[in-house]
Every structure is written in structure tokens, then in C-alpha cells.
């Protein structure tokens, strides 16, 4: 039985000392965190909504000292969730990526880590009623049309069912253990681009001004990525995050490559976009399938994003890609299901892929485990000067 949708509208924001206060839940999802809002509690008009989100996060400011942002792209994210009008979907999720030092609010790409917090948030905020010891909801990501089935544990005590956050599941990049959040992606190919392989090839040779000729794989199975062998850029792919973030030459070359590949992938001028992400790949060093260093797109990720990991894993099983050439064998089994271990700076990320038995170059599904935690629930205050509910809440 699908969870019951409860909330269809939100209250007007209440002023307090010249400030507007908005219901807000602050959650960690996977290796990211940020405030979550019910869609009904925010303006429906984009410019007004973005002004609110910038005020909430404290952008633009490198420290985000006047808001909830954490001065890092991984902690400058927002989730907006509402009930769906579609009969086959329970919840609609809009992800917003903000930057500490920018006034841009990007809602074009997905975030699989924040996606892990959507169902816990929906239960906590009254959007969903848990319907058993586990609760599964189908979530549509409005950014790209991606649909996922997400399952969380919802045991019962004397006061009713609740989201269980404690458990034994460990994910690299997050301290301790927690309850699992199971995510089953139903269709991720070509999430932003027109297809899984937007250039039509598993490998391309591109000429980059000031850099030279490089072989890359341009791929989108949930996140548009450009994969390049770290050694082709004079790096090992085992450098620390801090070393890569201070490597100005490398970052300049990656950005030049990103701009060229963005055009090839049909994304146009990506100068002001957060995608495609750039991923250095190399041979695994800790028993995994492949090693990665992921840039998002200008800062090296402390681990790797969920959908980036799914996309890298997909590249590992496609013969001819830059990634496949570096992997430990993904061809040794005839099984329709294959496990790919993506190494990253904080550990590894295991992705379960389903392959078409008749065409092992076609990935039919992907699944993984994340964890989430509610950190705070209350109201966030924004300055009264911020344009807000002039046309009323949506």
C-alpha cells in the first residue's frame, strides 16, 4: 500500500520582528546536508523562491556566515518536497544547488545524496503517513524527471510509527552507522543530456585549447559526467582532496575540458552550470572496481555523489569507455546483476547494476544504500526585505 498524502497547502509565513519565519527541517542525506522545505511553504514564483533560498543559506558569501550554508558545495544544498498529482508517484522533489560565493540557484541537476533524505523528511513533516515497519514511496525528481523508489524503516512505539535513524549501515564519508535508506532508481539514462552517451560514442578524443588532445567518456546515467584518465593529465588519481583543490593548473585544465565537452554533450555553454561534473579515473588501489576523484565541478568532492557513482559504475561495465579500460574485470560474470565498487577519497561506494541479458551494454536498473538523519526541526528566519509571498504561497 502506498503512503497516504496528507498535506496539500501551507500556512502563510508569520512575521517576527520584521523577519519572516518558514517551517524548516534540516537533514543529512548521504554525504550531503541542508534544509528541507515543504513546497507549499515556499513561493511558487521562481525569482521569489530563489531569493528566499539565498537568504536561508547566506549566499553569496564564502563563509555563508549569515545563513545555514556550510561554506562548501556539499553543504550548500536545499530540498523542496511536495505531494504529487501523478497517480504513480507519491512525492515530488526539487533539488537546489547553491554556491557559497554566488547568487545562482541551480535546479537543473539531481543530487542522489539529498534524495536519500526525501522520505524521512516527508514523514517528519507530515507529507506521508508510514504504513508498516518499512515505508516505501515513489519519488519524482522534478529537476530531470528521474523516478526512484525509496524505502526507510518506520517501526512503531506507543506514540505511533516514526522514522528509525539508528542502525548498523555504514557509508564512507559519514561517521558512525545508521539505518539504511534503500534507493532503487527506475530510469536514469539521459537525466540531463539527451541519452546515456550524449556524443553517441563510448569514447571521444577532444582537442582542448591550451591543453591538447585528450580521450574522454561523456556519459549521463543520472548525472552528466566527463571521465578522463588521471594519468592523461599528469596525475595519479590518488592525490588527496586538499592537494587537488590547491592544484590550480589541474583545475584550469579540467575547466577548459569541461567547457568543450559541455558543447559536445549538447549542454551548450556550461560556464555557469554545475554540470557536467569532471571525474578523474584510475586503477583501483583498495580492492574495488575503479578509483575516482570527482570535481563538482570546480571543487574536489570529499567522496563522490550518489548519481555520479551510478554513472561511473555504468561506465565501468560499458566496453570501450575510459573507465572500463581501468577496471578490475566486470566481464567475468554472466549474471544479470553486477556489483561495482567505486573507490573515492573517503572510502568506496557500492552500486548494484542490472544488465540486459540480451545486451550487456544496456543497464536496466541501479540500486544502492544510503543513510540519512534529521538534525533540526523548527523555523528559519529570513530578513523582511527579501521578496517573499507577494503572490501567496503555492
pTM above 0.85, yes or no: no
pLDDT of residue 320: 95
What are the backbone dihedrals phi and psi of residue 164, each rounded to the nearest 5 degrees, phi first?
A: -90, 120
Beta carbons of 27 and 115 less than 8 angstroms apart: no
Task: Tell me the CB-side half-sphere exposure of residue 289, using CA atoms within 13 A.
Answer: 23
pLDDT of residue 336: 78
Q: Which residues of the chain have pLDDT under 50?
A: 1, 5, 390-394
pLDDT of residue 391: 44
Cα first-last separation, the chain: 28
Q: DSSP letters along 80-146, please?
A: EEEE-SSTT-SEEEEEEEE-TT---EE-SS--HHHHTTHHHHHHHTTSEE--SSEEEEEEEETTT--
Q: How far apart are CA 63 and CA 49, in angstroms?
A: 22
pLDDT of residue 158: 96
CA angle (116, 118, 124) in 5-degree steps: 120
pLDDT of residue 159: 94
CA angle (142, 71, 19) in 5-degree steps: 75
Stated as kind and residue range, the H or E segment containing 227 is strand 224-229
Q: How far apart are CA 77 and CA 240, in angstroms?
A: 24
Peptide bond before residue 276 is cis, with ω within 30 degrees of 0:
yes
Q: How far apart are CA 150 and CA 172, in angstroms?
A: 20
Residues facing 261 on adjacent strands: none
Beta carbons of 27 and 375 less than 8 angstroms apart: yes
**pLDDT digit string (tens) for 23-80?**
999 999 999 999 999 999 999 999 999 999 999 999 999 999 999 999 999 899 999 9
pLDDT of residue 101: 93
DSSP 261: H
Residues facing 264 on adjacent strands: none
Amino acid at each position: 500500500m502506498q503512503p497516504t498524502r496528507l498535506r496539500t497547502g501551507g500556512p502563510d509565513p508569520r512575521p517576527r520582528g520584521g523577519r519572516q519565519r518558514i517551517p524548516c527541517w534540516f537533514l543529512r542525506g548521504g554525504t550531503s546536508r541542508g534544509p528541507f522545505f515543504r513546497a507549499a511553504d515556499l513561493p511558487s514564483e521562481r525569482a521569489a523562491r530563489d531569493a528566499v533560498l539565498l537568504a536561508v543559506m547566506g549566499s553569496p558569501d564564502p563563509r555563508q556566515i549569515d545563513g545555514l550554508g556550510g561554506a562548501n558545495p556539499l553543504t550548500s544544498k536545499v530540498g523542496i518536497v511536495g505531494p504529487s498529482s501523478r497517480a504513480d508517484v507519491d512525492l515530488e522533489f526539487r533539488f537546489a544547488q547553491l554556491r557559497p560565493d554566488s547568487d545562482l540557484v541551480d535546479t537543473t541537476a539531481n543530487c542522489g545524496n539529498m534524495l536519500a533524505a526525501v522520505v524521512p523528511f516527508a514523514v517528519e513533516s507530515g507529507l506521508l503517513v508510514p504504513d508498516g515497519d518499512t515505508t516505501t514511496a515513489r519519488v519524482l525528481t522534478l529537476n530531470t524527471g528521474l523516478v526512484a523508489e525509496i524505502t526507510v524503516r518506520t517501526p512503531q512505539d506507543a506514540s505511533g510509527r516514526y522514522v528509525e535513524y539508528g542502525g548498523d549501515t555504514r557509508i564512507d564519508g559519514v561517521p558512525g552507522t545508521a539505518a539504511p535508506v534503500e534507493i532503487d532508481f527506475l530510469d536514469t539514462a539521459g537525466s540531463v543530456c539527451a541519452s546515456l552517451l550524449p556524443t553517441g560514442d563510448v569514447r571521444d578524443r577532444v582537442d582542448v585549447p591550451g591543453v591538447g588532445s585528450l580521450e574522454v567518456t561523456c556519459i549521463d546515467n543520472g548525472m552528466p559526467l566527463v571521465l578522463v584518465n588521471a594519468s592523461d593529465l599528469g596525475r595519479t588519481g590518488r592525490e588527496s582532496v586538499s592537494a587537488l583543490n590547491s592544484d590550480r593548473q589541474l583545475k584550469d585544465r579540467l575547466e577548459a575540458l569541461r567547457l568543450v565537452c559541455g558543447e559536445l554533450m549538447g549542454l551548450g555553454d556550461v560556464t555557469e552550470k554545475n554540470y557536467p561534473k569532471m571525474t578523474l579515473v584510475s586503477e583501483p588501489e583498495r580492492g574495488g572496481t575503479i578509483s575516482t576523484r570527482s570535481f563538482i565541478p570546480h571543487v574536489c568532492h570529499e567522496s563522490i555523489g550518489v548519481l555520479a557513482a551510478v554513472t561511473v559504475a555504468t561506465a565501468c561495465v560499458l566496453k570501450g569507455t575510459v573507465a572500463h579500460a581501468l577496471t578490475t574485470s566486470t566481464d567475468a560474470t554472466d549474471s544479470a546483476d553486477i556489483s561495482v565498487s567505486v573507490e573515492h577519497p573517503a572510502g568506496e561506494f557500492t552500486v548494484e547494476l542490472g544488465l540486459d541479458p540480451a545486451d550487456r551494454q544496456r543497464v536496466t536498473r541501479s540500486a544502492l544504500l544510503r543513510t540519512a538523519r534529521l538534525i533540526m526541526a523548527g523555523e528559519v528566519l529570513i530578513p523582511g526585505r527579501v521578496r517573499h509571498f507577494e503572490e501567496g504561497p503555492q
